[in-house]
Amino acid sequence: MKLVILVCLLLYSCAKKENTIINPLHGSWLMKEIHYIYPDSTYSQPQAFTGRFLFTKNHYSIMYNPWTNERIPFQILSKPSDAEILASFKTIVFNSGSYLQSDSTITSTADIAKVPGFEGGKQFYRYKITGDQLDITMFDETYPDGKKPDWYGKLNVRFVLQREELLAEGN
């Protein structure tokens, strides 16, 4: 009887492991490069300043500096000038929310964003994972009201990221 119970437990644990597939997208990805791809030219930031994509089972978060120079610290951290506030707003991109994933595309829906009013907006990406590198290109964006940005059809933004951490399934 003990042997039967032991065999059943062993089979159950093996079957459970087979069903637990870790999604290679899940985890923390450090920004390494950004490429702004227009029909006639590409502008590259080959050594991007710190930025990150985070993916869990159902949610994502993105934050990065879109410019080719570092962000300038406020002279007095607790009392920035209006000019410093404006400059800091222009040098950061972030949003967070939920996403849907296929084998080659991601559709994200923001529930919080740098730009007030973008909540509910969608961004569309093509992606490929090779080892510990994520190559992800934003090719479309739709505002909550269904409108498109001025850059639609004229610009793709390609990010090259390095895996920092793989999350265990269930996170």
Q: Is residue 86 part of a domain?
A: yes
> Domain for residue 9, yes or no?
no
Q: Answer whether 99's CB lies under 8 Å from 129's CB.
A: no
Number of domains in the chain: 1
The tens digit of pLDDT for each residue in 112-161 reads 999 999 999 999 999 999 999 999 999 999 999 999 999 999 999 999 99
The chain-wide mean pLDDT, for the chain, equals: 88
Q: Strand 27-37 to strand 156-166: parallel, antiparallel, or no bridges (unpaired)?
A: antiparallel
Q: What pLDDT was estimated at residue 70?
A: 85
For residue 113, is it within any domain?
yes
Q: 144 lies in which domain range?
A: 23-166
In a domain, residue 47? The reply is yes
User: How far is 64 from 139, CA to CA, in rounded Å?
Assistant: 17
CATH of the domain at 52: 2.40.128.280
pLDDT at 4 over 90: no
pTM assigned to the model: 0.81
Q: What does the pLDDT read at residue 88?
A: 92
Q: Is the pLDDT of residue 3 over 80?
A: no
Whether residue 122 contacts residue 109, with contact meaning beta carbons closer than 8 Å, is answered with: yes
Compute the distance between CA of residue 133 and CA of residue 112 in angstroms, rounded to an integer: 27
Write down the pLDDT at residue 23.
Answer: 92
Residue 17 placed within a domain: no
